[in-house]
Amino acid sequence: MSHLRWFVLGIASAVSLAGVARAQAEPNDTCATASAIPPGTYPGLVVADFYNPPCCESTDFDYYRVTVPADHGLRVVATPTSTFGNPANFYTSLREGCGGIWIPGQADGSYSATNTSGAPRDYVITVHTFLVDEGYVETTYTLEVVVAPTCATTPDDAFELPAGLVRPIGFGTVTGLFASYFDDDLYRLSLPAGTTIRASIALQHAAGDLDLSVYDGFASASSTSLTDQEVVTFTTSGPGLNAVHVRIAAKPGAVDTCNHYALTVELVATSLGTSYCAAGVNGSAMEARLATQGSSSVAANDLRFVCQSFPGPNSAVLFAGTQATSIPFGDGWRCVGGSVMRLRSAVAVNGVMIVQPDFTTAAGASIVPGTTWNYQVLYRDQTVPGGAGFNLTDALAIPMTP
């Protein structure tokens, strides 16, 4: 690229923001010199990246400083509108001051923060583009900054994690939750293909509307009514384990929304077998229930059980029995009876346990085609105050095939 071409492109990338000239030498090229901006929508902003190895490289970062009053929330959305030049990636980030902590992004690509410090606080927005390969790229974008009062003085519920982080969940109902325009609630389940769940939230719509969405990397479904309940039924279709996300968020544009809700997640159907019997509520405040991968073929020997919502790295044992029952046991119910055998042990990792029986072992050899077996997992759980120290999942009845 000639020096003249570089000069012309540099001039073309210069835009204005609140009267501040923005070019390669613009004031907000570093965090320390970030331009202070008020809330608003700023179109026509430009970032650029130039890379010509081995001699030349220049990246134009944009930094903006936003002051957020006490008990107010901040939401930032940077949206690219056009790109000139070579393929590149577009990035946005947010942190508390230049040396402060980085704030994770929300599910929709935005960034949110709530100032609970009792005094005004500065946040720094960073926007840049990065070339996939050598060359030059120039990206035009729109920056939206919203600052408004929020429910910052209300303590966040103990169930969810801080904004931007994903909370692993299981099945059952949790009450006393809340979400706001500045604080989406995001939950995750790991589910095999062919698993159907039903997620719902109960709320008082008049206090501020919340929407519900469920999605993975292959499909999505949403409920955006104006009633006191949102319900989504969702079936996983991707191969292997699917990271299914359940998101509760204020209806777009409802800046003043901060509302309480109850979340219910139900296991409607698994790819194999029939679920029966209750699962005990454990220290995660939810139930660990069984889903299946693989097949019911004894010869294939590829049946696996997936269960989640464990409070930690709980050790567990998979059992199978010839009869179905329901008897209080530990902090849950024993759901298998008749001739009962222990098949295999496992340990939960990140709240999820996967266990695969082996039908070639002495115990597994009793499970033959043409018979129906009932499967259940018993696991240790020391997190329930005054509990028995162990709990159980629900059970699955599976007719075995050749």
Residue 156 within a domain: no
- Which of 149, 177, 198 is the last residue in one of the domains? 149
What CATH code is carried by the domain that includes residue 97? 2.60.120
285 and 260, same structural domain?
no
- Please tell me which residue, 195 or 165, carries the higher pLDDT value: 195
253 and 296, same structural domain?
no
pLDDT cut 70: percent of the chain above it: 91
Residue 53: predicted pLDDT: 82
Q: Please say if the pLDDT value at position 300 is more than 90.
A: yes
Looking at the 3D structure of the chain, how many domains does it have? 3
- Please tell me which residue, 312 or 247, carries the higher pLDDT value: 247
249 and 327, same structural domain?
no
For the stretch 279-288, pLDDT in tens is 999 988 899 9
Cis amide bond preceding 54, omega within 30 = yes
Q: Which domain holds residue 277?
A: 273-399
Residue 18: predicted pLDDT: 29
For the stretch 97-135, pLDDT in tens is 998 889 988 777 889 888 878 899 999 999 999 998 889
132 and 9, same structural domain?
yes
Q: Please say if the pLDDT value at position 10 is more than 80.
A: no
What CATH code is carried by the domain that includes residue 245? 2.60.120.380
What CATH code is carried by the domain that includes residue 393? 2.60.40.10
Q: Please say if the pLDDT value at position 397 is more than 90.
A: yes
255 and 229, same structural domain?
yes
236 and 223, same structural domain?
yes
Contact 212, 234 (CB under 8 A): no
Residue 11: predicted pLDDT: 34
Residue 200: predicted pLDDT: 97
63 SS3 class: strand
For the stretch 26-63, pLDDT in tens is 556 789 889 899 999 999 999 999 988 887 788 889 99
What is the rounded average pLDDT for all residues in the chain? 86
Residue 350 within a domain: yes
d(CA 342, CA 388): 20
- Which of 123, 149, 175 is the last residue in one of the domains? 149
296 and 241, same structural domain?
no
- Which of 220, 235, 268 is the last residue in one of the domains? 268
* Mean pLDDT across 234-262: 87
Residue 292: closest CA among 396, 197, 217: 396
Strand 185-192 and strand 167-168: the pairing is: parallel
What is the DSSP track for 371-399?
-EEEEEEEEE---STT--SEEEEEEEEEE
Residue 245 within a domain: yes
210 and 76, same structural domain?
no
Contact 22, 64 (CB under 8 A): no
Q: Please say if the pLDDT value at position 182 is more than 90.
A: no
Residue 162 within a domain: no
339 and 233, same structural domain?
no
* DSSP H or E stretch at residue 9: helix 3-12
- The DSSP output letter for 340 is E
375 and 291, same structural domain?
yes
Residue 146: closest CA among 38, 249, 54: 38
- Please tell me which residue, 360 or 10, carries the higher pLDDT value: 360
145 and 188, same structural domain?
no
190 and 144, same structural domain?
no
Residue 158 within a domain: no
For the stretch 214-225, pLDDT in tens is 999 899 999 999
- Ranges 176-180, 264-268, 345-349: which has the least confidence: 176-180
